[in-house]
Amino acid sequence: MKQTATFLTIFMCFLFGSSLSAQNNNIQKYIESLKRDTLFTDAVVGIMVTDSKGKIIASWNPDMPLLTASTMKTISTGMALTVLGKDYRFSTRLAHDGYIKDGVLYGNLYIIGGADPTLGSMDTLATPVVTLFAKWKEAVVANGIKRINGNLVADDRFFEPEIVPESWAWNNIGPSYGGGTSGLSFNENLQYFNFRPGLNKGDKVFFNKVYPEIPEMKYIVNLTTADKDRGRSSYHVSDLAKVGRFSGSAALGADSVIITVANKYPHLSCALEFRKYLENLGIHSNAEILDARENNLPTEESMTIIDVTYSPSLASIINVTNRISNNFYAETLLKMVGKQMTGVGSYDSSRVAVQRLFREMGLKTKGYTQADGSGLSRQNYVSARFFCNYFAKMKENPNFDLFFNSLPQPGKPGTLRSVLSDEKPSDKERIHAKSGSLANVRCYAGYTVRKNGELIHFAILANNFSARTAQMQVGIEGFMRELTKY
């Protein structure tokens, strides 16, 4: 009888050992305290922590697929690194479809996009737009072109014509964080509007200027002057015509106010701004900007290429994407995965491509649904277990160090700068993770470096909470604090 009892004891320890070990550490104990906190019990929460061998350290609802917010960028950037490689550079071509005689180009001048997300960007990562245009102008002059007897053509056919995913909410499409992708992007697909508020509350707000411009675009400005620091505006573009509408208010007390919005026609802006640049240097062309897709114009194969411009390396772009949580870069990277693997730059092809990559990695896709690249969609659902399994697999990637170091750290530049502000730098810097926020959503996912050098994987996803995000943040950072001590 004693032998039987001993055998049963050993068997039970073997069978439930991993579960028991998950209960006997401070991370799991902290999670148990969250289960008694009404802020978290009134929310939907998924948490998982695994060690370098995949053993569960702690968990709470690890298999529940939840909204990811920007933690989805870890998947988009990781898969872009896998498919394209760290040294990949996007390209943009300058070409014409005619012939040159006596300094005149008889034909159209094309800007052929290759989805470069940094083209014309004001980020320090990118080539300044003045330098970019000067290079293009030099190529025009070097080919003997002094005048263009034709039009400038914007060619964005590299990607399919879907600038934003269908799953994005209407109120996310106009703001600056809702800039979608394009085969020919420009200025991160943003526009900067300069307005002049009135002298008194309720006065009309006047439109001064915009950069970059969109040819033939009309703007309806229904903005009034509000109290100081009280301005709040919205912007939407019609699906039926080139008409943008501003509603709301601009704050009193400033000579001018800048409102940044998403640009639905970035390819046309790029061509128009370059045409204006050439005009100022005396290189004239027809006034109308042509859209290569809408006009069914010749493709690159039948043109004469006169210049190629390259983006910074993918490694640099991914670092910025994760560090500052750039939605536009992330969307471009996801679509580029689809383009590279299937030949079609669309959201559907990208999702197919990522699923294929996961199978090749040996990663089961239970608990994973991806609708976009940035996490802005509220149709992204990923479980904490999937995130941990994904992070474990990414360690086998030859570019893992680059991926790992692109993830923000508490106290350092990036979206985690203010996280764990009271902790010692040597402790909080153990965390490399991506944050994510939407309305009633707060998430973190990534890695923690133990004192012995072991990398552990974690994800904490909080959805549908009714409390303020700042209140939830206290409990979430408490969890992350325990990670640094494990």
> Among 69, 180, 190, which Cα is nearest to 123's?
190
pLDDT value, residue 474: 98
Q: How confident is residue 393, by pLDDT bands cut at 50, 70 and 90?
A: very high
pLDDT value, residue 15: 43
Q: How confident is residue 284, by pLDDT bands cut at 50, 70 and 90?
A: very high
- Rg (Cα) of the chain, in Å, rounded? 26
Query: Are the C-beta atoms of residues 111 and 152 closer than 8 Å to each other?
Result: yes
| The pLDDT of residue 378 is above 70 | yes
Please report the DSSP string for 155-192 in residue order: E-TTS-S-SS-TTS-GGGTSBGGG----SS--GGGEEE
Q: Rounded to an integer, what distance in angstroms lies between the CA atom of residue 3 and that of residue 243?
A: 83
Question: What confidence tens digit (pLDDT) does each residue in 421-477 have?
Answer: 999 999 999 999 999 999 999 999 999 999 999 999 999 999 999 999 999 999 999
Amino acid identity, position 14:
F
pLDDT value, residue 23: 55
Segment 70-93 shows an average pLDDT of 98
* Structural domains present in the chain: 19-85+315-485 (3.40.710.10), 91-312 (no CATH)
> Among 90, 256, 74, 237, which Cα is nearest to 159's?
90
Average the pLDDT over each of 73-82, 227-236, 380-389, 399-408 and give the range with the smallest value: 227-236
pLDDT value, residue 58: 98
Percentage of the chain modeled with pLDDT above 70 = 95
| The pLDDT of residue 19 is above 50 | no
Q: How confident is residue 5, by pLDDT bands cut at 50, 70 and 90?
A: very low
Q: How confident is residue 296, by pLDDT bands cut at 50, 70 and 90?
A: very high
Q: Rounded to an integer, what distance in angstroms lies between the CA atom of residue 390 and that of residue 355?
A: 12
Query: Are the C-beta atoms of residues 109 and 148 closer than 8 Å to each other?
Result: yes
| The pLDDT of residue 17 is above 90 | no
Q: How confident is residue 115, by pLDDT bands cut at 50, 70 and 90?
A: very high
pLDDT value, residue 6: 44
Question: What confidence tens digit (pLDDT) does each residue in 116-148 have?
Answer: 999 999 999 999 999 999 999 999 999 999 999
Please report the DSSP string for 443-456 in residue order: EEEEEEE-TTS-EE
Query: Are the C-beta atoms of residues 463 and 472 closer than 8 Å to each other?
Result: no
Q: Write down the mean pLDDT value for the chain.
A: 94
pTM for this model (two decimals): 0.93
Kindly state the helix (H) or strand (E) to which residue 6 belongs, with its residue range. helix 2-23
Query: Are the C-beta atoms of residues 310 and 126 closer than 8 Å to each other?
Result: no
E-assigned strands of 146-300?
147-148, 152-155, 190-196, 206-211, 218-226, 233-237, 243-251, 257-262, 289-291
Q: φ and ψ at 74, to 5 degrees?
A: -65, -30
pLDDT value, residue 18: 42
pLDDT value, residue 431: 98
Number of Cβ within 10 Å of residue 315's Cβ equals 17
Q: φ and ψ at 50, to 5 degrees?
A: -130, 155
Q: Is 406 helix (H, G, I), strand (E, B) or coil?
A: helix
DSSP 107: S
Question: What confidence tens digit (pLDDT) does each residue in 38-68 have?
Answer: 999 999 999 999 999 999 999 999 999 999 9
Question: What confidence tens digit (pLDDT) does each residue in 166-220 have?
Answer: 999 988 888 999 989 999 999 999 999 999 999 999 999 999 999 999 999 999 9
Q: Which residues contact 482 (CB under 8 A, 6 or more apart)?
A: 26, 27, 30
Q: How confident is residue 21, by pLDDT bands cut at 50, 70 and 90?
A: very low
Please report the DSSP string for 277-316 in residue order: HHHHTT----SPEEETTTTTPPPGGGSEEEEEEEPPPHHH
Q: Cα 345 to chain center, whole Å?
A: 16
| Residue 457: strand pairing partners | 50, 447
Looking up tokens 């944050």 gives 435
Segment 25-37 shows an average pLDDT of 97
Query: Are the C-beta atoms of residues 154 and 289 closer than 8 Å to each other?
Result: yes
Segment 6-17 shows an average pLDDT of 42
